[in-house]
Amino acid sequence: MAQILRGADVVNSLRERISREVLQLKELGVFPALAIVRLGKNPDDIAYEKGAIKRCEGMGITCFPHEFPQDLPQEELIRELERLSFDHKVHGIIVFRPLPAHISEKQVKFSLDPSKDVDCFHPVNVARVFEGDESGFPPCTPQAVLEILDHYGIELQGKRVTIIGRSQVVGRPLAMMLLKRNATITICHTKTVGLPEISREADILIAACGKPRIVNSSFLNPRQIVIDVGINVDERGNICGDVNFEEAEKIVSGITPVPGGVGTVTTSVLASNVVKAARLSLNKR
């Protein structure tokens, strides 16, 4: 049976460090604060927002949620993001994506101050990830994957890592972050020919394609570590990952559960990025 790589243990470790850093900042007169920008009432966004607020406030970080109607004009969203970027009480800003179809992410993302962009939305922070420059903010979900691997002592240098998923939010930046750690990366997707065979060769398999239980026993080998980034709802209304957990647990060396894995750690990474942004604000004084 596989070792279950639970996110709760990682969260507890991060909470201690982040809470300590928040106290240090408050002693210097800096009170870390996060602005959350959400358009509409998508249930997944609302659930993430509630979790993020609970996690951040539990570590001493103030949260300012901003809910706007789904049909908010693009110009008004840009004005709001610019206002928050100039608000000295706000250190970090997260914008829930994807944005409604009438809003161009390519235009909106430039209205954010890169030094407050705590989920790697602005092109400056995206470029920093691809350049291996750690001065910016890594995207929260890819960084959560690294936090889990580090917490459980899983070596990356020289390992063959296959990522199933090529999104700009997870797959591509995660590949660059792993490459910086000297892993050998293969990026696949749901259209990849021979996907099970390629996946079986990996030392670490990361599923991030948004297809319920697409990774089954034919993708796996006994020495593998499997990181399941997917959060889906199956035909019965149950939350599941991109990996068939019941099959994988019997085969692989270690695996993250869904729920209780990567998603659990993501909000702690968000809190860590807010604290980093608050520290950077000291240099602006």
Q: Give the model's pLDDT for residue 285.
A: 59
Q: Measured between alpha carbons, how far is 67 from 96 in angstroms, rounded to an integer?
A: 10
Work out whether the CA dihedral 215, 173, 66, 93 comes out positive or negative: positive
Does residue 283 surpass a pLDDT of 80?
Answer: no
Q: Which of 97-101, 231-235, 281-285 has the lowest mean pLDDT?
A: 281-285
Pick 140-263's CATH classification: 3.30.70.20, 3.20.20.120, 3.40.109.10, 3.40.50.720. Answer: 3.40.50.720
pLDDT of residue 153: 98
* pLDDT, averaged across the chain: 96
SS3 sequence, 95-152? Answer: ECCCCCCCCCHHHHHHHCCHHHECCCCCHHHHHHHHHCCCCCCCCHHHHHHHHHHHHC
DSSP class of residue 253 equals S
The predicted-structure confidence for 1-11, as pLDDT tens digits, reads as follows 899 999 999 99
Chain region(s) in the chain for CATH 3.40.50.10860: 28-115
- Taking the CB of residue 30, how many other CB atoms lie within 10 A of it? 17
How do residues 4-52 score in pLDDT, each as one tens digit?
999 999 999 999 999 999 999 999 999 999 999 999 999 889 999 999 9
For 107-133, what is each residue's pLDDT tens digit?
999 999 999 999 999 999 999 999 999
Q: What is the pLDDT of residue 202?
A: 98
20, 277 in Cβ contact below 8 A? no
Instruction: Label the pairing between strands 184-188 and 204-207.
Output: unpaired
Percent of the chain with pLDDT over 90: 95
Kindly report, as residue ranges, where domains of CATH 3.40.50.720 are found in the chain: 140-263
Question: Of 101-105, 115-119, 166-170, 236-240, which range is least confident?
Answer: 236-240
Which one of 3.40.50.720, 3.40.50.300, 3.40.50.10860, 3.30.70.100 gives the CATH number of domain 28-115?
Answer: 3.40.50.10860
H or E, element range at 39: strand 33-39
pLDDT confidence of residue 41: 95
pLDDT at 44: 87
Sequence-ordered list of residues with C-beta below 8 angstroms from that of 253, at least 6 positions apart, any chain: 2, 3, 222, 223, 224, 225
Q: What is the mean pLDDT of residues 244-264?
A: 97
CA-based torsion, 200, 203, 209, 211: positive or negative: positive
